[in-house]
C-alpha cells in the first residue's frame, strides 16, 4: 500500500506517482517544476505556496479546469494538462 504506484499523463506524456500524492508533488517528483505561464507568456509558474492560497499552480485535471495542483490528489488514469489560460473562462463551466 505504502509504495503503490498510480499512472497518469501530463500533456499526454505517461508519468507515475505514489498513491496519495498531490498532482503538484507528482509533477515535482517526476522532474516537472513548472506547468503554467503568466498571461504575458514570459514567466513560468509552478508550485509556490503549496497550501492552496496563491493559485499559482493551476492545472487542468480531466474535465476540471484550473484546479490547484497542490491540493488535488492524483488518481490512476488522470489526464493532467497545462492550462491554455491562467484560469477560468465562462465557456469552461458553462
Partner 1 sequence: MVVIGAGMVGAATAAALAASGRRVCVVDRTGPLGGTTAAGEGNILVSDKLPGPELTLALRSIALWREFAAEHGPAAEFEPKGGIVVAHDEQQLAALRDLGSRQAAAGVTVQPLDAGALRQAEPRLSADLAGGALYPQDAQVQPMRAALAYLALARRRGAVVVAGADAIALETTPGLVSALVTSRGRIATAVVVNACGPWSADVARRLGSALPVRPRRGRILVTEPLPVVIRHKVYEADYVSAVASDSAGLQCSAVVEGTASGTVLIGSTRDAAGFSVRPDPAALAEMARRATALFPFLAAVRAIRAYTGFRPASPDHLPIIGADPAIPGLFHATGHEGAGIGLAPATAELITALITGAEPLVDPAPFDPGRFAGHDPPGATFPQVSAWRAEPS
Taking CB under 8 A as the criterion, which residues in 23-62 touch partner 1?
Answer: 38-40, 53-55, 58
Cell 506524456 found at:
13
- Four-point Cα dihedral 13, 18, 22, 27, nearest 10: -30
Q: Give the one residue of 15, 26, 66, 74 binding partner 1; rule: CB under 8 A.
A: 66
Rounded least distance, CB 13 to partner 1, Å: 25
Closer to partner 1 by Cβ: residue 14 or 41: 41
Q: Is 93 in the site for partner 1 (CB under 8 A)?
A: yes
Of the pair 6, 24, the CB lying nearest partner 1 is at: 24
Residue 75: partners with Cβ closer than 8 Å, 6 or more residues away: 6, 8
Note the helical H segments in 1-94: 23-29
Q: Which three cell numbers stand for residue 26?
A: 507528482
Site residues (CB under 8 A) for partner 1? 38-40, 53-55, 58, 66, 85-90, 93
Amino acid at each position: 500500500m505504502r509504495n503503490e504506484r498510480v499512472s497518469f499523463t501530463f500533456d499526454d506524456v505517461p508519468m507515475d506517482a505514489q498513491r496519495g500524492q498531490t498532482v503538484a508533488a507528482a509533477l515535482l517528483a517526476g522532474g516537472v517544476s513548472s506547468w503554467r505561464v503568466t498571461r504575458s507568456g514570459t514567466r513560468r509558474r509552478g508550485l509556490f505556496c503549496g497550501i492552496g492560497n496563491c493559485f499559482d499552480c493551476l492545472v487542468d485535471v480531466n474535465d476540471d479546469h484550473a484546479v490547484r495542483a497542490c491540493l488535488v490528489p492524483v488518481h490512476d488514469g488522470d489526464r493532467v494538462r497545462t492550462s491554455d489560460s491562467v484560469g477560468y473562462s465562462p465557456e469552461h463551466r458553462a
